[in-house]
Chain A
Amino acid sequence: MTRLNPCELEIDLFCNGIKIHESCNLESDARLFARTRAGLGSGLELMIPGDLKDIWMNVPVEEDFVQNTPYFLKKTSTGYIVWDSRENINYPVMIPPTPDWYNQKTYRGNPMSMVGVLQGTYLGIYIANSCMFWHPKVAMNCKFCTTGLNVGVNEIVNKDVEEVVEVCRTAKERSGVTFVHFNSGWQGGKGVEIVAPYIKAIREKVGLFTGVQLVPEPKETLWKYDWLIDLGANHFSFCYEFHNPQYFRDLLPGKEKYLSREAFFNAMEYTSRKLGKGKVSGEIIAGVEPLEDTLQAIDYITSVGAFPTVCIFRPVIGSDMEHYPTPSFEDMRKVYTHLYHSMRKNGLPMGIVPNIEVSLVVNPDDTRFLAPRTLSWHLYEWKLKIMKLAARPIISSVLRPSKAKTDLDSMEQYRPKE
């Protein structure tokens, strides 16, 4: 086995996890582990330096499969390294410290990390109550998820808008955050209305790129997304998880019963048309359904102008899939190489907004490490650089607080006339 490039190392660490050697002093050096939202953030945040970019990732440490990992985190006199015990190879890494504002209290007296946490360099906030798929007597929750088990245990159940504003402002000032991501499970069809006040408040009081991850609106109410865009939403992501209809049906019983796979496609296509190329994402999980389905999912998502957010399956503690095996490095390398080529083929931008590194997944622009550096690779790199330059004025304007284009009571005005 040869030395892995930064993205390959990221993939292999997602597949195997890491053990923490006794030389480490993570209690003072690292971020607290925060198992919030769907449970993916329960690992160790680390940064792998690279010539194209530094890669942020959240390495599994808690799950039982980590017991078999060949990787160890060690502390040396020069800093932290990831040691691959199979080949005795060392990779220098950096451990981001706990943000100094995590324990700061909000005006309501809650620690800020109970409101939102950094997952990489973006701020993730779970809004509203637990996903309602967990409510029925026979739960309809997605089998890989632990959201219903988290809310209230590691984070606050109901988040006050002003408290969220306070945390966003602090994260922007102290950690240079440029992007806040609001997500929620199924709220019985009320997700858009629940997230709206947060979006407007961030637009007007903080100035951040704002992403929204909710279950999709049905076809008849897709117009509600227009209202959210005018309130200040810059990005939507739709987690449909599995492209294969059988896996979708079996592993996502709530989404199958109350939403359907097509609803995700409709919402993704609608918002992608509204916001433009590369602003919407389709989220899927790789390593459970057959590889061909994952590759098809990537092609579909990029064909509608969205970018694929591909999670490597992690059998999170407490989930129904806790004992499922993790995928192989070889398969996952194929997935992400395909993702790179699919993004390039469709001319999709990646890495344009500064300082958005999502540690829970392999980011699309991490995959630039996987492709051979041919003439086409260099041409795409140049294209991305030009896109970055061209986007600067827009980025500056979004990062300044400004009046939202619409009001919270104006949703009905967006309903198309009969």
Chain B
Amino acid sequence: MITNEKDGPIAGILTQVQDDTLASRIVNLVKHSAEPWELVPTTKGYEISCSNQVGDLPNRARIKIFRPEAALLVIFFYKKSNVPWSRDRFAYGGIEVGPDDSAPSDDQIQAWLIFAESGFSPESRPPDLIRLFPYDIPA
């Protein structure tokens, strides 16, 4: 479920993803997840984060979805810093879906979400995750 769906800026993201087949599929699967998720707008693209607990700690896992170019969708996995003002991002890798790639299946997308829900547990690492991910990731 998306817990902040009713917030003003989020409605904007939801409208925006309607025109993007893959992004809207991701958001749709998030909506149907049993875990609580939040959508967060960013300067380029948007992020989804699972607001569950991992162990006794708040889940810091984030998925950033953006298009560095029109034909390329990038899904970047990172953990947020513990320190509120730190800009540090703890990368776990990413997925790129280009014009020549076949669209990921719902099962693949589910695996990305489960990975985030687990707080990026190595046991849940999706097989299609590229750990070396040489992109300059926008804020």
Contact = CB atoms under 8 A, between A and B. Distances in A.
A148 B136 contact: no
A35 interface: yes
B132 A156 contact: no
Contacts of B88: 32-35, 42, 62, 154
Contact of B132 (A35, A42, A134, A318): A134
13 contacts: A26-B83, A32-B88, A35-B90, A61-B83, A62-B83, A66-B82, A134-B132, A139-B132, A153-B135, A318-B79, A318-B90, A318-B91, A320-B122
Interface string A205-246: 000000000000000000000000000000000000000000
B86 A322 contact: no
Interface string A10-21: 000000000010
Given A20-B83, A32-B88, 9 more contacts: A42-B90, A61-B83, A130-B132, A135-B132, A148-B131, A149-B132, A151-B134, A317-B90, A320-B122
Interface string A54-88: 00000001101011000000000000000000000
Interface string A88-129: 000000000000000000000000000000000000000001
Interface string B32-70: 000000000000000000000001110000000000000
The winner among B57, B87, B92, B136 for most chain A CB atoms within 10 A is: B136
Contacts of B57: 64, 67
Contacts of B92: 149, 318
A157 B90 contact: no
A35 B87 CA distance: 10
Interface in B99-139: 120, 122, 131-137
Nearest to A42: B88
Nearest to B87: A32
B83 A153 contact: no
Contacts of A42: 88, 90
A152 B81 contact: no
Interface in A1-45: 20, 26-27, 32-35, 42
A150 interface: yes
Nearest to A153: B91
Nearest to B82: A62
Given A134-B131, A139-B132, A149 B83 contact: no
- 3 pairs of A and B residues whose beta carbons are closest in the complex: A134-B132, A27-B85, A149-B91
Interface residues of B, number: 26
Interface residues of A, number: 34
Given A35-B88, A152-B137, A156-B136, A317 B93 contact: no
Interface in A131-150: 134-135, 139, 141, 146, 148-150
Contacts of B89: 35, 153-154
Given A27-B85, A42-B88, A318-B91, A157 B134 contact: yes
The winner among A157, A318, A322 for most chain B CB atoms within 10 A is: A318
Contact of A152 (B56, B82, B136): B136
A148 B132 contact: yes
A26 B85 contact: yes
Contacts of A33: 81, 83, 86, 88
A364 to B, nearest CB: 29
Contacts of B56: 67
A322 B83 contact: no
A243 to B, nearest CB: 26
Nearest to A320: B122
Nearest to A323: B122
Contacts of A322: 122
Nearest to A131: B132
A205 B88 CA distance: 32
